[in-house]
């Protein structure tokens, strides 16, 4: 392995053109990169990263014309607008993979890419006439490495070269999906949700919260996703990450969709990404407001009984007077009848909530 400077462009291009893997500072963090059009690069990536092959690797492209090589036509209209208006390097975009790039796509046909701000990376891609496979410089599940010395110590001869330098920041890029007509924010990052929404619309995200995310909130998520034209997720304040729904909850959920559901822990990222948070109990609301903030969290029953409505682009409203509703009882550890009663309460409150257009928050 060799350590190079950014001025050593000829040697960098030679390594990439023969299928080598390199660590290069990007405008977010240090990344491991390889020439996307080289057949063996992807296999090397998975081996070096220790990464599940089902988790695909995003691409870097030099500019919009190169992005049109990897994204299927017709090019999403809001993706075009985002590329025109959002700053380079701060966003990773997800769109439908073009023919010839399906290998880099996920099971739903989506492909992630970013256009870096760094002119050095742009020039390298122009010289090799190819997108770059790119992922953060770390083993899967481990912290991102921030300098050439740490990367050299961790990866050694598994890499063909390291470009010495400083990455542009310590925050990863924001992640936006353009797989549907209206974009959806998949991950917060270098750009805030508010900054993005000043340029392009984002789908409204409603988050249901309970204790373990295995009973009430997954049932609410599944029914609301069936019922409402907005994005819906759920999480638990004390969830065990990756836990499956309780069997009786799953039986109810499968009436509306057989999509897999695993438990998520409620955290700062989910709080900030959600536009509206609806809890199953008043205590859940109190905990969230104490530790995270007060402006967008409501008990589901309160919100429904108080004329709650959910609109586009993150908007919601309710009547000024809050009507105090009931908690949804936790059915965990009880039989089918308890789950059915809890679900009927959830269903009735969700059905009360209007999802027409609203401009108020």
Q: Quickly count: other Cβ atoms within 10 Å of residue 161's Cβ.
A: 19
Lowest mean pLDDT among 241-255, 322-336, 345-359: 345-359
Beta bridge partners of 175: 92, 187
Which residue from 330, 322, 275, 279 is spatially nearest to 302, judged by alpha carbons? 322
pTM: 0.88
- Mode of pairing for the β-strands spanning 174-177 and 184-187: antiparallel
Maximum pairwise Cα distance, the chain: 70
Q: Which residue has the tokens 């836990």?
A: 243
Higher pLDDT, residue 54 or 219: 219
Cβ-contact 308, 316 below 8 angstroms: yes
Cβ-contact 18, 4 below 8 angstroms: no
The full set of domain ranges for the chain reads 2-197, 205-352
DSSP secondary structure letter of residue 107: T
Cβ-contact 197, 361 below 8 angstroms: no
- How far apart CA 20 and CA 35 sit, in angstroms, is 8
Query: What is the pLDDT, as a whole number, of residue 54?
Result: 62
Residue 360: band (very low, low, confident or very high) from pLDDT cuts 50, 70, 90: very low
Q: Is the pLDDT of residue 51 over 70?
A: no
Lowest mean pLDDT among 22-26, 314-318, 323-327: 22-26
Lowest mean pLDDT among 308-312, 319-323, 334-338: 319-323
Structure tokens at 123: 């020039």
Residue 30: band (very low, low, confident or very high) from pLDDT cuts 50, 70, 90: confident
Percent residues over pLDDT 90 in the chain: 71
Higher pLDDT, residue 161 or 320: 161
Query: What is the pLDDT, as a whole number, of residue 170?
Result: 66
For 255-289, b/e burial (b = at least 16 CB within 10 A) is: eeeeeebebbebeeebbebbbbbbbbbeebbebbe
Residues 129-153, mean pLDDT to the nearest whole number: 83
pLDDT in tens, 61-88: 999 999 999 999 999 999 999 999 999 9
Q: Is the pLDDT of residue 128 over 80?
A: yes
Query: What is the pLDDT, as a whole number, of residue 323?
Result: 87
Which residues touch 195 (CB under 8 Å, ≥6 apart)? none
- How far apart CA 224 and CA 218 sit, in angstroms, is 10
Query: What is the pLDDT, as a whole number, of residue 177?
Result: 98
- How far apart CA 314 and CA 321 sit, in angstroms, is 22
Please, what is the average pLDDT of the chain? 91
CATH classification (class only), 2-197: alpha beta
Q: Which residue has the tokens 């481990």?
A: 142
Residue 357: band (very low, low, confident or very high) from pLDDT cuts 50, 70, 90: low
Q: Is the pLDDT of residue 140 over 60?
A: yes
Query: What is the pLDDT, as a whole number, of residue 49?
Result: 74
Query: What is the pLDDT, as a whole number, of residue 361?
Result: 43
- φ and ψ at 274, to 5 degrees? -70, 145
DSSP secondary structure letter of residue 194: H
Residue 53: band (very low, low, confident or very high) from pLDDT cuts 50, 70, 90: low
Residue 295: band (very low, low, confident or very high) from pLDDT cuts 50, 70, 90: confident
Q: What angle do CA 80, 84, 86 make, to 5 degrees?
A: 110
User: Which parts of 71-135 fold into alpha helices (H)?
Assistant: 77-85, 119-128
DSSP secondary structure letter of residue 145: P
Q: Is the pLDDT of residue 264 over 80?
A: yes
Of the options 3.40.50.2300, 3.40.50.300, 3.20.20.140, 3.40.50.11900, the CATH number for the domain spanning 205-352? 3.40.50.2300
pLDDT in tens, 142-184: 777 778 888 888 888 889 999 988 887 667 789 999 999 999 9
């Amino acid at each position: 392995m060799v350590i190079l400077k950014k001025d050593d462009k000829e040697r960098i291009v030679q390594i990439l053109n023969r299928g080598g893997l390199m660590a290069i500072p990007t405008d977010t963090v240090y990344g491991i990169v390889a020439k996307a059009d080289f057949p063996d690069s992807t296999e090397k990536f998975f081996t070096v990263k220790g990464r599940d092959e089902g988790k695909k690797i995003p691409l870097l492209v030099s500019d919009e014309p190169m992005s049109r090589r990897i994204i299927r036509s017709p090019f999403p209209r809001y993706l075009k607008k985002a590329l025109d208006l959002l700053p380079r390097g701060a966003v990773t975009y997800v769109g439908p993979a073009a023919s010839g790039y399906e290998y880099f796509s996920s099971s739903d046909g989506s492909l992630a890419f970013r256009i870096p701000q760094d002119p050095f990376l742009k020039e390298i891609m122009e010289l090799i006439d190819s997108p770059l496979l790119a992922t953060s410089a770390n083993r899967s599940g481990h912290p991102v490495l921030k300098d050439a010395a740490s990367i050299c110590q961790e990866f050694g001869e598994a890499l063909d070269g390291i470009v010495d330098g400083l990455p542009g920041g310590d925050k990863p890029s924001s992640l936006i999906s353009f797989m549907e007509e209206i974009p959806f924010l998949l991950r917060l990052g270098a750009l805030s949700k508010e900054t993005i929404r000043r340029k392009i619309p984002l789908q409204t995200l409603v988050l249901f919260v309970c204790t373990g995310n295995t009973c009430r909130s997954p049932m609410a998520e599944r029914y609301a996703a069936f019922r409402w034209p907005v994005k819906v997720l759920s999480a638990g304040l004390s969830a065990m990450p990756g836990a499956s729904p309780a069997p009786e909850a799953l039986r109810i959920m499968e009436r509306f969709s057989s999509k897999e559901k695993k438990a998520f822990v409620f955290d700062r990222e989910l709080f900030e990404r959600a536009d509206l948070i609806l809890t199953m109990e008043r205590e859940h609301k109190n905990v969230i407001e104490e530790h995270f903030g007060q402006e967008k969290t409501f008990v589901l029953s309160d919100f429904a009984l108080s004329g709650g409505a959910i609109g586009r682009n993150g908007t919601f409203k309710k009547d000024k007077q809050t009507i105090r509703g009931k908690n949804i009882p936790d059915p965990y550890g009880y039989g089918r009848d308890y789950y059915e009663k809890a679900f009927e309460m959830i269903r009735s409150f969700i059905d009360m909530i209007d999802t027409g257009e609203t401009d108020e928050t």
